[in-house]
């Protein structure tokens, strides 16, 4: 049986193959090292949080499955995240929801303060991680009908104050960790059936958002983003904060737009939207998810659309105005493995995009040589990017291939299986 070449031998051959196509594999990996991906806390505990873990999950969110080993405390969640991060190459951040605060007493959401998240800051600082943040507009008695678009001024005021407090927490993250925290505003407001008044709630949402954003924070500490959606459970016919609404709001208010890959119609190509909207926006937060027929938040695959998104951002030289975060929650499989699979796939897609022979493709296109362009696209698909990926993983101290799975299984046997 022919011996399989070592990772380094295979990489040497791959590097030569890419060099023949005008691509520097070392430079691609160095660029990849500059792109952090934010890991979502809510994958580890099924979006329960620590405010009231027994509260039902509402707001159109749904976690399916009951795989054993869910994190029950913040310490367990941090430990689980560390196991996952050890299997994922490249720089990482951690993305928190407001409901993941730590306090010995019950804290109303409009009274959250930086001190309620200080243990998260200390943990992130010790591990050289950035933190991102999200106000939590779901799973709360005052979110059952609406939040920032609610017709009752008192309820609307509560959620405005929650978002204002969240921005202060986010700025504290950025100030403490010396890297800006991206805070994403998403609300579940909408209607299951046809509403009479579509404009009124949107006017109230504009007024609420303007009030929230009225206090400036330095961009080196805090970045605001707004996230739209096509529809959700309980909002099948009307979503107040639709994708169109937030695109217009982000462009006019000079805040970032969050594009969640699961928040569009299944036939829409998110990859095509990036170049269409980027010239009008301050920045884009890309929430990488996978919807199956609806916003079902499946684990990210290395599928055509994930690859197309990465390629579009590299080709358009948009990486400098984009932040990446994963956004899925699957309780039907080992939750740590879900993190690892999803984040490794996003980074794989970025590496493949950075290894594309862009200069040759651009030159062929500039001559309207569509024959050469098509040929180069197709030949690029069979270049040995997998050997570059293995080298990247090995040289960054994480397992290659499926070898990471044994570390996750071992942790499952020794730690997760003992949780009630």
Is 80 one of the catalytic residues? no
Whether pLDDT at 1 is above 50: no
From 97, 140, 172, 229, active-site residue: 229
Q: At what angle do helices 404-414 and 74-85 cross, to 10 degrees?
A: 160
What's the whole-number average pLDDT of the chain? Answer: 95
Write a three-state SS string for 352-372.
HHHCCCHHHHHHHHHCCCHHH
Is 304 one of the catalytic residues? no
- What is the tens place of the pLDDT at every residue in 53-103? 777 778 767 788 899 999 999 999 999 999 999 999 999 999 999 999 999
From 132, 189, 224, 295, active-site residue: 295
Residue 174 lies in a domain: yes
Is 330 one of the catalytic residues? no
Residue 171 lies in a domain: yes
Check: CB of residue 181 under 8 Å from CB of residue 131: yes
Is 229 one of the catalytic residues? yes
Give the pTM.
0.94
Residue 175 lies in a domain: yes
Is 120 one of the catalytic residues? no
C-alpha distances (whole Å) from 182 to each of 95, 223, 408 are: 9, 5, 29
- What is the tens place of the pLDDT at every residue in 319-352? 999 999 999 999 999 999 999 999 999 999 999 9
- Burial (CB count <10 Å: 0-12, 13-18, 19+), residue 9: exposed
Is 297 one of the catalytic residues? yes
C-alpha distances (whole Å) from 326 to each of 121, 200, 258, 340, 395 are: 20, 33, 12, 11, 24
Residue 419 lies in a domain: no
Check: CB of residue 335 under 8 Å from CB of residue 69: yes
Q: Please tell me the predicted confidence (pLDDT) of residue 233.
A: 85
From 45, 51, 80, 327, active-site residue: 327
Check: CB of residue 312 under 8 Å from CB of residue 119: no
Closest CA to 175 of 213, 222, 211, 208: 222
Is 385 one of the catalytic residues? no
Residue 15 lies in a domain: no
From 46, 80, 224, 227, active-site residue: 227
Residue 172 lies in a domain: yes
From 150, 273, 287, 391, active-site residue: 287
Q: Please tell me the predicted confidence (pLDDT) of residue 5.
A: 62
Closest CA to 188 of 339, 47, 346, 333: 47
Whether pLDDT at 4 is above 60: no
- What is the tens place of the pLDDT at every residue in 297-313? 899 999 999 999 999 99
Number of domains observed in the structure of the chain: 1
Whether pLDDT at 169 is above 80: yes
Per-residue tokens: 391: 């080298």
From 45, 184, 224, 297, active-site residue: 297
The backbone torsions φ and ψ at residue 88, rounded to the nearest 5 degrees and listed phi first, read -120, 120
The larger pLDDT score, comparing residue 6 to residue 225, is at 225
Is 186 one of the catalytic residues? yes
Is 45 one of the catalytic residues? no
Radius of gyration of the chain (CA): 22
From 159, 186, 385, 404, active-site residue: 186
For strand 181-185 and strand 222-227, is the pairing parallel, antiparallel, or unpaired? Answer: parallel
Q: How far apart are CA 170 and CA 117, in angstroms?
A: 10
From 92, 263, 298, 391, active-site residue: 263
CATH of the domain at 86: 3.20.20.150
Residue 352 lies in a domain: yes
Whole domain around residue 309: which residue ranges? 36-356
Percent of the chain with pLDDT over 90: 91
From 51, 189, 260, 356, active-site residue: 260
The enclosing H or E element of 229 equals none
Residue 17 lies in a domain: no
- Burial (CB count <10 Å: 0-12, 13-18, 19+), residue 390: buried
């Amino acid at each position: 049986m022919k011996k399989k070449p070592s990772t380094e031998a295979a990489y040497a051959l791959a590097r030569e193959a890419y060099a023949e196509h005008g691509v520097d594999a070392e430079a691609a990996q160095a660029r990849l090292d500059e792109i952090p991906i934010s890991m979502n806390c809510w994958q580890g505990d099924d979006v329960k949080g620590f405010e009231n873990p027994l509260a039902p999950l509402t707001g159109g969110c749904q976690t399916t499955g009951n795989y054993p080993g869910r994190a029950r405390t913040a310490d367990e969640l941090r430990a689980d995240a560390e196991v996952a991060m050890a299997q994922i190459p490249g720089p990482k951040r951690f993305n928190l929801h407001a409901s993941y605060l730590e306090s010995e007493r019950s804290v109303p959401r409009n009274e959250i303060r930086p001190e309620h998240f200080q243990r998260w800051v200390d943990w992130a600082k010790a591990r050289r991680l950035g933190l991102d943040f999200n106000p939590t507009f779901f799973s709360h008695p005052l979110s059952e009908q609406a939040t920032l678009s609610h017709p009752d001024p008192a309820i609307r005021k509560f959620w405005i104050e929650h978002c204002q407090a969240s921005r202060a927490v986010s700025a504290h993250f950025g100030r403490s960790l010396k890297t800006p925290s991206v805070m994403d505003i998403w609300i579940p407001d909408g209607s299951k059936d046809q509403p009479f008044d579509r404009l009124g709630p949107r006017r109230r949402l504009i007024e609420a958002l303007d009030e929230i954003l009225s206090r400036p924070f330095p961009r080196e500490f805090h970045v605001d983003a707004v996230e739209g959606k096509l529809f959700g459970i309980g909002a099948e016919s009307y979503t107040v904060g639709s994708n169109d609404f937030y695109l217009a709001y982000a462009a006019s208010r000079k805040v970032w737009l969050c594009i969640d890959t699961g928040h569009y119609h299944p036939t829409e190509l998110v990859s095509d939207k990036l170049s269409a909207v980027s010239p009008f926006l301050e920045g884009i937060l890309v929430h990488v998810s996978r919807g199956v027929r609806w916003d079902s938040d499946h684990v990210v695959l290395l599928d055509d659309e994930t690859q197309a998104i990465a390629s579009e951002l590299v080709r358009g030289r948009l990486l400098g105005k984009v932040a990446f975060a994963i956004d899925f929650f699957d309780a039907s499989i080992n939750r740590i493995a879900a993190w690892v699979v999803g984040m490794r796939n996003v980074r794989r897609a970025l590496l493949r995009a950075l290894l594309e022979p862009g200069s040759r493709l651009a030159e062929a296109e500039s001559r309207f040589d569509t024959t050469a362009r098509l040929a180069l696209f197709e030949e690029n698909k069979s270049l040995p990017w997998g050997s570059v990926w293995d080298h990247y993983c090995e040289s960054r101290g994480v397992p290659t291939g499926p070898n990471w799975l044994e570390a996750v299984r071992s942790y499952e046997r020794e730690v997760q299986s003992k949780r009630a």
